Amino acid sequence: MKSIIIRGGRTLHGDIAVSGMKNAALPIIFASILTKDRCVLDNLPDVTDVNLSLNILESMGATVERLGKTTVAIDTKDLAGGCSPVDLVSRLRASTYLLGAELGRFGSAKVGFSGGCDFGVRPIDQHKKGFEAMGATVTIEDGCHLVRSARGLHSASVYLDIASVGATVNVMLAACTVPGRTTIDNAAREPHIVDVANFLNMCGARISGAGTSFIKIFGVDSLHGCSYTIIPDMIEAGTYMVAAAATGGMVNVKNVIPKHMETVTAKLIEMGCGVDESDDCITVSRSTRLTGANIKTYFYPGFPTDMHPQFAALLATAEGTSTITEGVFENRFRYVEELRKMNAVINVYGRTASIVGTKQLTGSPVIAVDLRAGAALIVAGLSARGVTEIAKVETIERGYDSIVDKLRGLGADIELAEK
Ligand code: EPZ
C-alpha cells in the first residue's frame, strides 16, 4: 500500500510547474474518436485518469503511441464502438464522454456506467436531454447506457437545465458532423470547454461561442486529425497557490493562465496573501496570519468547486470563522471528517461548512476519500505540526502529476512511502 508522509511546518519557496489540465485532456482524448485520422496531443498530464482513458481507447482498437512523457499520438481508424470495457469505464467519470463520441462517430453508443469521485448521485439526465433533442433514444440495457438514432441524428436547440460540463461536452461531440445548426443554451463556460471546442475546430469542426453560455455547432461532413496542446491545469495551479498560502514563504506557480485563476487569486488576496502575476506565472507569498473568508462555489466563472476542499484546509487555520457553501454538488463534504482528525473545527449545515480557524493543525493518519479531498489533506499536512500520513494515494494520483516531487522541489518534507 502506498502512502504520502508529510512532516509539516516548513515554508515553501521556489518554482513549481503546472502540468496540462486533466479535465481538458480527458474529453479531448475521447473526442479523438470522431476522426479516423491521427491526432497528436501534447502537454498531457501523467495522471491515472489520462492513462486509463488511453487504455480504454486501445482496448476498443485504437493505436496509442507514446511520443514523450506528455505527448501521445492517437489513431482511432480501427476503433470499434460499443465495446469499451465496463470495468475500466466504471473507474472514472470522463468515460461518459464515450457516449457523445461514439454517437458522433457511429450514430449509436453503448457504454457502461461511469465512476469518479463520490459526491452523491452524478446523473446524466442533461446528457440524455441533449441526445434526445437530436433524435436519439437513450435506454439502459445489459448494464450499459444505449444511445440509438434509428433515423440518424438531426440538429437541435438544446437548453441545459444545469450548466453541466459533461453534458455541454457530450452535445458538442455528438453534433460536430450533424447537418445544420445545433445550439446549446445555458452551456458550461469552463476553460476546458473552450479547449475541447478549440481541439474540435482544429479537426475541422465549426463551433463558436465556447466559453459563453450559448454555443453554436454547424455540422461538417467529417473531421480530420490535428496536433493540439492541452491548456494548463487551473485546479493543480490553484492547489499549489493554496499550499504556498498555507505554509507561508514565496512560490512561483509557472505555466499558468492567470485569467483562469481569477477567483482563486481574488480570494487569496482577500485573506491577506501577496499575489503577483506575469503572463504565465503567479507568485504567492504569505508572511502574516491569514484572515478568514466566505466562499460560495459555483459554475465557472464562479469559484471552482474543485478548489473547495483545499480552501477548507487553508481556512482551518485562518483568523476567525469562515464558511464555504457548495453550489455545484449536493455532497462534497467527505473531506471534513479527515480534516477533523487534524484538529480542524468544521461543522456542516446543509450545503455550508462553517470553519472556526485554529492556530495550527496537528498531523494525523488520514485517508484521501476523493481526489480534491486528498489534495486538501496534503495542504493541511504541509502546514500542520507533526507527521501526517495520507492513505489511498492512488486517489490523488488520478489527477495530480508528480505532486510529491513537485512539492519536494519547494522544500516540503514529503515522501511517497510503500508499505
Ligand atoms: C466535471 O464533472 C469535472 N470532472 C469535475 O471535476 C468538476 O467538479 C465538475 O465538472 C464541475 O466543474 C471531469 O471533468 C472529469 P457537471 P461533471 O456535469 O462533468 C449535476 C475533479 O475533481 N448534473 O458539470 O460530472 C451534477 O450532479 C472533478 O477533477 C446533473 O444533475 O460535472 C452536479 O451537481 C470532480 N445532471 C452538477 O450538475 C447531469 O446530466 C455539475 O455537474 C449532469 C450534471
Evaluate if residue 191 carries a pLDDT over 80.
yes
- pTM across the whole model: 0.98
* Contact predicate 419/1, CB 8 Å: yes
CA-to-CA distance for 323 and 294, rounded, in angstroms? 5
Q: What is the model's pLDDT at position 274? A: 98
Q: How confident is the model at residue 166 (pLDDT cuts 50, 70, 90)?
A: very high
Q: How confident is the model at residue 116 (pLDDT cuts 50, 70, 90)?
A: confident
If you average pLDDT over residues 285-314, what whole number do you get? 97
If you average pLDDT over residues 292-320, what whole number do you get? 98
Cis ω for the linkage preceding 301 (within 30 of 0)? yes
* Contact predicate 336/323, CB 8 Å: no
Q: What is the model's pLDDT at position 63? A: 98
Helix (H) or strand (E) run with residue 322 in it: strand 321-325
Q: Which residues line ligand 1 (CB under 6 A)?
A: 23, 26, 93-94, 117, 122-127, 162, 164-167, 188, 305-306, 328-329, 371-372, 399
Q: How confident is the model at residue 117 (pLDDT cuts 50, 70, 90)?
A: confident
Q: What is the model's pLDDT at position 32? A: 98
Q: What is the model's pLDDT at position 118? A: 85
Q: What is the model's pLDDT at position 336? A: 98
**What's the CA angle centered on 220, arms 218 and 172, to 5 degrees?**
55
Out of 75-84, 110-119, 188-197, 368-377, pick the least confident: 110-119
Q: Does 117 qualify as catalytic in the annotation?
A: yes
Residue nearest to atom 6 of ligand 1 (CA): 306
Q: Which residue has the cell 445545433?
A: 182
Q: What is the model's pLDDT at position 119? A: 86
Q: What is the pLDDT of residues 241-294, one digit of tens each?
A: 999 999 999 999 999 999 999 999 999 999 999 999 999 999 999 999 999 999
Residue nearest to atom 41 of ligand 1 (CA): 164
Q: Which residue has the cell 440495457?
A: 141
Q: What is the model's pLDDT at position 271? A: 98
Evaluate if residue 164 carries a pLDDT over 90.
yes
For 68, list phi and psi in degrees, rounded to 5: 170, 180
Q: How confident is the model at residue 121 (pLDDT cuts 50, 70, 90)?
A: confident
Domains of the chain, each with CATH number or no CATH: 2-18+232-418 (3.65.10.10), 22-229 (3.65.10.10)
Nearest to 202 by CA among 56, 63, 210, 188: 210
- Residue among 39, 117, 226, 273 flagged as catalytic: 117
Q: What is the model's pLDDT at position 1? A: 87
Q: What is the model's pLDDT at position 152? A: 95
CA-to-CA distance for 52 and 236, rounded, in angstroms? 19
Q: What is the dihedral of CA 82, 87, 92, 94, to 10 degrees?
A: -10
Q: How confident is the model at residue 13 (pLDDT cuts 50, 70, 90)?
A: very high
Ligand 1 centroid–CA 247 distance in Å is 30
**Mean pLDDT over each residue of the chain, to the nearest integer:** 97
DSSP 161-203: SS--HHHHHHHHHHHTTSSSEEEEES----HHHHHHHHHHHHT
- Alpha-helical runs (H) found in 79-225: 86-89, 97-106, 125-133, 165-175, 191-202
Cell numbers given for 292 = 478568514
Q: Out of 49, 113, 122, 168, give the residue to mutate to test ligand 1, the one with the largest number of ligand atoms within 8 Å of its CB.
A: 122
Evaluate if residue 419 carries a pLDDT over 90.
no
| Partners of 74 in beta bridges | 39, 64
Cell numbers given for 369 = 476519500
Ligand 1 centroid–CA 251 distance in Å is 30
**What's the CA angle centered on 314, arms 308 and 317, to 5 degrees?**
140
Q: What is the pLDDT of residues 199-245, one digit of tens each?
A: 999 999 999 999 999 999 999 999 999 999 999 999 999 999 999 99
